[in-house]
Structure 1
Amino acid sequence: MSILIIGVVVLVAWKIGSFVARFLGGLLIILTIAGLIWGGPHFGEMNAPLALAVGLGLWLVGHWLFAFKHKGWRSSLALRVFSLPTLRLLAPVPTNHIPAQPVWVD
């Protein structure tokens, strides 16, 4: 039974995981910055760096998964971020070129 649950979780993560991770990461980044600017109750100043790091990590994982699945980058921003020296080592597809036609499959 647990193998079935693990299989379903992996299948769902494979199908919609890149979108969910990119969306939640971006939303967390935006909400954290807005909370710092307008003093929102959700993120105090002490938790803001952690929330930003988690949001950025989710966003990066979502773009990594998309690039791994589709052999192309979802956005030019993701391509440029994964072209940075340290992150280039983690990129699942080459980052030395910008594709002539962006991949808009999601």
Structure 2
Amino acid sequence: MSATAVGLAILGLLGLWVFGGFALRLAGVLVFISGAVSTASGHAGGIIAAALGVVTWLAGHWHYALRHQEYKSPLARHLFSRWPLAWLDPTRDWSVPVERGDGRRWSR
């Protein structure tokens, strides 16, 4: 593999890390709308496209939460924290204790 190919791969991964959440959310909304319009016009295959759009939208929110330690929308936060998707929640174990030691305070 040449140095140019390695550099392009690194640049591509960096671009996915920076713009991936936005791109996935936007693509998910567009695919969902396309599937909904297709379903409304009588094609049953639009249901699959709409479902793929929802999954892509959720993947975009998961990516955003992984980068920023918070969710972009309350709906995504609700889905990832209270439904069976809770084990996928990238923000679930990010609480950090503020005090050193075991957290006890002495009143003396």
Matches within 5 A, 1:1-106: 1-37=4-40, 39=41, 44-45=43-44, 47-94=45-92
Aligned length: 90
Query: Which string of whole-angstrom CA distances, capped at 9 and with x for unpartnered residues, describes residues 60-82 of structure 1?
Result: 11100100111001010000111
Say whether the 8 Å CA contact 2:62–2:89 is kept in structure 1.
Answer: yes
Question: One-letter code of the match for 2:59?
Answer: V
Query: What is the SS of the residue equivalent to 2:92?
Result: coil
RMSD of the alignment, in Å?
1.9
Compute the displacement of 1:9 (Å). 1.1
Alpha-carbon distance between aligned partners in 2 of 1:52 and 1:73, rounded to the nearest angstrom: 22
Question: One-letter code of the match for 1:36?
Answer: T
Q: Percent identity?
A: 30
Give structure 1 stretches of 5+ with no counterpart: 96-106
Query: What is the SS of the residue equivalent to 2:81?
Result: coil
TM-score normalised per structure 1 = 0.75
